[in-house]
Chains A and B, each alone.
Chain A
Amino acid sequence: MNKLQIIYDEYLHKVQNEVSELNILKMKNDYSNHIEVGLMYDKLKLANNNEEKGEIIRAIKEFKKQVEEMANKYIQLIKSQEKKVDVLLPVSDKMGSLHPMTLTINEIKTVIRNMSFEDMKFEFRETSEIETAFNNFDALNIPALHPCRTDHQSFSIDNEHILRTQTTSTTAHILQQNKSENGAYFTIGKTYRKDSDATHVPMFHQWEILVIHNKANFPALLTFLKTFLNAFFGKQLEYRFRPSFFPFTRFSTEVDIWFNGRWLEVLGCGIIAPEVFEQCNSDYRMTFAVGGGVERLCMIKNSITDIRSLYGNKKIFGFSTFGGIR
């Protein structure tokens, strides 16, 4: 049944973006006789009892009905749009658009602002991009010999300062200020690493969430993640939590989601390591942190394959996906 839902979602997405009545009709026929529907009929033959048979028949009927309804709805919409003729001269300039990154950042901000942890609302914190090596590395339990501290991994400004390699440096600032209180914070900002290819750029954005609370344990973290990602993507997702390692977390996990038929890594998270509190001269409290790349979410949501196109800016203006302000 879930497969039918996936197919229906796919169909809906196509129909919504279609402008030709003929194509919608074609799509309606294709999807009504989709191979998955055929497989459902096969299942029907193998079904053991009437209850099971009834369920399958209902699912098929419901699916076909929805497909037809949507097709009719969008055909009507196209017809109604055709009738509206603007008799005036066209305006000289089209509307501009926000950058997909801004749209993604706004969406992340909106979701986080509408979330809470144990009645704590999330507070936005922003720190500088040019950061001290201490806050970027030492405070986060990244040892002196770690490769990411070398010249070929990060940009250095002077002996003391670097361009931050992660927004987790904000965590260090927060822990240095908040010595013993509970709190829920989030940040979104630019980070810099010496990397440039189809999936890496030297400057990219990260978002990060920090929750300091004695109930901020691992199940709470996983619950939070599911809630956040479901809200961000606007649907129930399948998850895979992979054990990982970050120097600043104990219980480190990377999260994959099942999206458009494949597993995609979207973020990393974990329970903040006691060493980080020690370095920040703060009392140890149960704290979880979640962080990920904004570009990654933006690319997944907008089906962008080359991250560099986000910063080339030129292609973007032609995309209907980004046309106008959302």
Chain B
Amino acid sequence: MKITLKWLQKHIKFHETDLKKLLTSIECECIKHGMELDGFELINPILQVQVTNVENIAGMKVRKCTVDLSPFVGLINQPNTVLCGGVNARTGMYTLMCPLNTTLSNGLKIVERKIKNEMSYGMLMSASEANVDLPCENGCILDLEDKTVKVHSYEDVVLNFKVPFHRWDLHCVRGIARALQNIGELISLRNTWKTDFNWKIPVHNETSIVMTFGEVCNVSVIEDVIVFMRRIGKDSAKSLQMLNDFVLLDIGHPIAIYDVKYIDQIYVQYNANKTVAIRNSVELICEGGMRNIRGYDDDTINVVIEAGYFHKENINSLKTDSAYRFWLGIDNEQMVLEYVYNLINGEKSSIYYGNGIMPMSKSIKLPIGDIYKYTGLSISAEHAMDILKSNKFVCKMERISQDDNVNDLICIECQCPSWRKDIVLPIDIVEEITRFIGYDKIKTYEKRIGINEVSIDLVEQVKLQLCAMGLNEIYKFPFTDKVSEIVIQNPINTQESYMRRHLFYGMYDNVNVGDWSNRFFTYDTVYSKKNDEIVEERYLGILINGRSMRFWNESSCVYTFFDLKQVVYSLGLQLTVCNGELPDFAAYGLTYNEGYIVKIKNTIAEDTYFAQIKVISKVSELKVDSEKRYIDVSIRCDKSVDWLRVTEVLKNYDFYLFDVFEGDGFIKYGITFVNIDEVPMSDLLLLGELS
């Protein structure tokens, strides 16, 4: 967007006279607003100057002329000497001059020149050079007897601004002037800016604080309602729409914007549910929490911006943790002002509350000793009160004891600002104080712990055992489309509307039909109902599918039922076969007291086997008691030696049998002795006894 410096000067009075410095300031100020000053150019940069002195130079045809550049902003620092070949140059004459760094229509750029130790800064022009239709002889410069010749001044500097697309307010000279106001003095915009308000604004049950922001150009009071108007730039509707959306979405703070032309007067009324409704004499314009979008259009120039503070619960009945999180310690009115200021670049006023008093909610008494109790921070009551006051709490100190040294018996009575709904108890005030002091100021110490105890429970043992057998663990969601007793009333989708009865449903999804071998397990919950009570039980699910190579000299073969049975039995779980009911996805299988092993029927992945077993067994009883000592002994003896004989020989010892192996002509007994430090008798002696 191109505007001349002169246009800008209609709105801003620049104090800086040096053009270079001025442009630097403009460039800096532009950056603050996301704009960019993309260079500048001059419009026909020909100046009308008065020659103040003419000096002859020895041995040269040209003469040294001094010109008066004082009327031209930006040329004060430029040397005013020009070497001129015009024979008619004389002191006091008016002529046209081209200053340094300008380019003429024929492409000639005027630069500094040095002729025989004399410098020339510019060019005095003839009529043909200046392209004006005035009498001028050859070899002469233009002599302007009549000073009314119309030429542009050097102040016609054209500034080229690159304006960000979302800053609709900057697409006009006024907007840019407003943005650049810091580098000068705002002339026309400031005329209507009123900073001292002292009107009473209606406040009802803490629900509404009418706020002022923007540039007020007209204020009228209708009964109890104040109307604030703001004049904005081009494309106002888009700017306002954006403002409205941004403020509402980002901080949940409803604002209402109206075009003045639609409004003759405004009434604010409080509805039964304590929301604010705004209406004109004919119709309802806006109701609390609802934004009004029909109030303005592309031609809108003068608007009323009204914002009320509503309790979060009153805005679409929302009361969220994140809302609380956001509001912690934030003055939301000030926040809206900042947004408006950043978005449409108005001027800020203070916030005005009804009767000039900010509405307060509850009163809480905080014993000062609580701060130490909860945080370990030793803070004086005065310090605590300073922090609270800076957050708009109204505080009063109460001394319960007359003894000045007893800090514990001091109470701070705090009245909280209306928007701090999160503050209910004394501990909340402690939290507020601590937040401002900083959690990093709380003294902590680091303990070092050694990771000594790595306890592995039965389930972990089983899992590790399965991993060692080449099975991978998987985790699945418990949702399924297979009908079960536990129904989710509001599922994510219809395929996930039941809680699984069998672990198989999730696990089968992981079977990759083309894979060489699918072997995985999970330890997870299944859900059922017993006697109308919801029951959650945890089971081990194992699924195998694909091929296996059992021996190195054999070709691979598909998994069988017995492969899975082998896996399950090798876990050492206590299993008893029973005649239970097989699940509906089973072709055949075995049921156990706590689960089943089955072949899956009618699946794309053929030869899939699945087991669901409860991990409770005697394995848990095999936990080694560290206080006892054990020694295992294997006794190989003649087949004729029976177990009764062995027990007779070892009757003085605490022992039990853990294994028997019958060979060709011999028998082996595996015995564990308990609580002994060495084998009770030598091998030979033992064998002698047994034989």
Q: Are B475 and A92 in contact (CB under 8 A)?
A: no
Q: In the complex, what distance in Å separates the CA atom of A190 from the CA atom of B444? A: 32
**What 1/0 mask marks residues of chain B from 442 to 463 whose CB sits below 8 Å from any chain A CB?**
1111111111111100001001
Q: Are B453 and A114 in contact (CB under 8 A)?
A: yes
Q: Are A156 and B489 in contact (CB under 8 A)?
A: yes
Q: Which of B325, B454, B470 is within 8 Å of A245, CB to CB?
A: B325
Q: Are B534 and A218 in contact (CB under 8 A)?
A: no
Q: Are B489 and A157 in contact (CB under 8 A)?
A: yes
**Chain A neighbourhood of B464, CB < 8 A:** 98, 325
**What 1/0 mask marks residues of chain B from 238 to 277 whose CB sits below 8 Å from any chain A CB?**
0000000000000000000000000000000000000000
Q: Which of B375, B428, B489 is within 8 Å of A158, CB to CB?
A: B489
Interface-side segment among B354-362, B386-394, B430-438 = B430-438
A81 within 8 A of B: no
Q: In the complex, what distance in Å separates the CA atom of A313 from the CA atom of B508? A: 12
**Chain A neighbourhood of B375, CB < 8 A:** 217-219
Asked, given contacts A244-B325, A313-B474, whether A223 binds B444 with beta carbons under 8 Å apart, the answer is yes
A40 within 8 A of B: no
A61 within 8 A of B: no
Q: Are B319 and A253 in contact (CB under 8 A)?
A: no
Q: Are A310 and B444 in contact (CB under 8 A)?
A: no
Q: Are B318 and A147 in contact (CB under 8 A)?
A: yes
**What 1/0 mask marks residues of chain A from 20 to 51 whose CB sits below 8 Å from any chain B CB?**
00000000000000000000000000000000
B468 within 8 A of A: yes
Q: Are A251 and B434 in contact (CB under 8 A)?
A: yes
Q: Are B467 and A98 in contact (CB under 8 A)?
A: yes
A263 within 8 A of B: no
Cβ distance A166 to chain B, nearest Cβ, rounded Å: 12
Q: Are A145 and B477 in contact (CB under 8 A)?
A: no
Asked, given contacts A130-B534, A313-B510, whether A250 binds B453 with beta carbons under 8 Å apart, the answer is no
Give the bracket for the number of chain A residues in contact with chain B: 35 or more
Q: In the complex, what distance in Å separates the CA atom of A317 from the CA atom of B474? A: 9
**Chain A neighbourhood of B460, CB < 8 A:** 106
For window 254-293 of A, CB contacts with B under 8 Å fall at 271, 273-274
Q: Are B512 and A314 in contact (CB under 8 A)?
A: yes
CB nearest neighbor in B for A203: B477
**Chain B neighbourhood of A106, CB < 8 A:** 460
A222 within 8 A of B: yes
**Chain B neighbourhood of A16, CB < 8 A:** none
A183 within 8 A of B: no
**What 1/0 mask marks residues of chain A from 70 to 89 whose CB sits below 8 Å from any chain B CB?**
00000000000000000001
Q: In the complex, what distance in Å separates the CA atom of A163 from the CA atom of B534? A: 12
Asked, given contacts A99-B473, A111-B449, A194-B490, whether A217 binds B527 with beta carbons under 8 Å apart, the answer is no
Cβ distance B311 to chain A, nearest Cβ, rounded Å: 12
Q: In the complex, what distance in Å separates the CA atom of A325 from the CA atom of B393? A: 58
Asked, given contacts A218-B375, A226-B446, whether A130 binds B486 with beta carbons under 8 Å apart, the answer is yes
Q: Are B534 and A97 in contact (CB under 8 A)?
A: no
Q: Are A243 and B431 in contact (CB under 8 A)?
A: yes
Q: Are A247 and B321 in contact (CB under 8 A)?
A: yes
Q: Are B321 and A246 in contact (CB under 8 A)?
A: yes
Q: In the complex, what distance in Å separates the CA atom of A247 from the CA atom of B425? A: 13
A233 within 8 A of B: no
**What 1/0 mask marks residues of chain B from 483 to 526 whose CB sits below 8 Å from any chain A CB?**
00011111110001001000000000010100001011000010
**Chain B neighbourhood of A199, CB < 8 A:** none
Q: Are A96 and B473 in contact (CB under 8 A)?
A: yes
A101 within 8 A of B: yes
A110 within 8 A of B: yes
**Chain A neighbourhood of B165, CB < 8 A:** none
Cβ distance A49 to chain B, nearest Cβ, rounded Å: 31
For window 87-111 of B, CB contacts with A under 8 Å fall at none
Cβ distance A86 to chain B, nearest Cβ, rounded Å: 13
A89, A252, A313, A314 — most chain B CB neighbours (10 Å): A313
B376 within 8 A of A: yes
Q: In the complex, what distance in Å separates the CA atom of A111 from the CA atom of B512? A: 37
Asked, given contacts A217-B374, A246-B321, whether A157 binds B486 with beta carbons under 8 Å apart, the answer is yes
Asked, given contacts A202-B477, A310-B475, whether A155 binds B488 with beta carbons under 8 Å apart, the answer is yes
Q: In the complex, what distance in Å separates the CA atom of A104 from the CA atom of B328? A: 34
Q: Are A94 and B467 in contact (CB under 8 A)?
A: no
B299 within 8 A of A: no
For window 276-323 of A, CB contacts with B under 8 Å fall at 310-311, 313-314, 316-317
Asked, given contacts A110-B451, A250-B428, A253-B439, whether A102 binds B463 with beta carbons under 8 Å apart, the answer is yes
**Chain A neighbourhood of B318, CB < 8 A:** 147
Asked, given contacts A95-B467, A146-B319, A250-B427, whether A202 binds B479 with beta carbons under 8 Å apart, the answer is yes
Cβ distance B503 to chain A, nearest Cβ, rounded Å: 13
Q: In the complex, what distance in Å separates the CA atom of A89 from the CA atom of B463? A: 27
**Chain A neighbourhood of B492, CB < 8 A:** 194, 196, 202
Q: Are B473 and A218 in contact (CB under 8 A)?
A: no
Q: In the complex, what distance in Å separates the CA atom of A313 from the CA atom of B434? A: 45
**What 1/0 mask marks residues of chain B from 297 to 336 whose CB sits below 8 Å from any chain A CB?**
0000000000000000100011111101100100000000
Q: Are A217 and B376 in contact (CB under 8 A)?
A: yes
CB nearest neighbor in B for A150: B490
Q: In the complex, what distance in Å separates the CA atom of A114 from the CA atom of B451? A: 6
Q: Are B444 and A226 in contact (CB under 8 A)?
A: yes
**Chain B neighbourhood of A251, CB < 8 A:** 374, 427, 430-431, 434
B560 within 8 A of A: no
Cβ distance A211 to chain B, nearest Cβ, rounded Å: 14
**Chain B neighbourhood of A324, CB < 8 A:** 467
**Chain B neighbourhood of A217, CB < 8 A:** 373-376
CB nearest neighbor in B for A93: B470
**Chain A neighbourhood of B536, CB < 8 A:** 128-130
B478 within 8 A of A: yes
Cβ distance B353 to chain A, nearest Cβ, rounded Å: 26
B471 within 8 A of A: yes
Q: Are A219 and B428 in contact (CB under 8 A)?
A: no
Q: Are A95 and B473 in contact (CB under 8 A)?
A: no
A227 within 8 A of B: yes
A231 within 8 A of B: yes
B27 within 8 A of A: no
**Chain A neighbourhood of B674, CB < 8 A:** none
**Chain B neighbourhood of A203, CB < 8 A:** 477-479
Query: Which residues does A use to contact B, with CB under 8 Å?
Result: 89, 92-99, 101-102, 106, 110-111, 113-115, 128-130, 143, 145-148, 151-152, 155-158, 161, 163, 190, 194, 196, 201-203, 217-219, 222-223, 226-227, 230-231, 241, 243-247, 250-253, 271, 273-274, 310-311, 313-314, 316-317, 324-325
**Could you list 6 examples of A-B contacts with CB < 8 Å?**
A98-B467, A111-B449, A157-B486, A194-B490, A251-B430, A311-B475
Query: Given A93-B470, A99-B474, 14 more contacts at CB 8 Å?
Result: A102-B473, A129-B536, A130-B536, A146-B319, A146-B320, A147-B319, A155-B489, A157-B487, A201-B477, A217-B376, A226-B446, A251-B434, A311-B475, A316-B472
The 5 closest A-B pairs by CB, nearest first: A92-B549, A93-B470, A241-B439, A245-B324, A96-B467
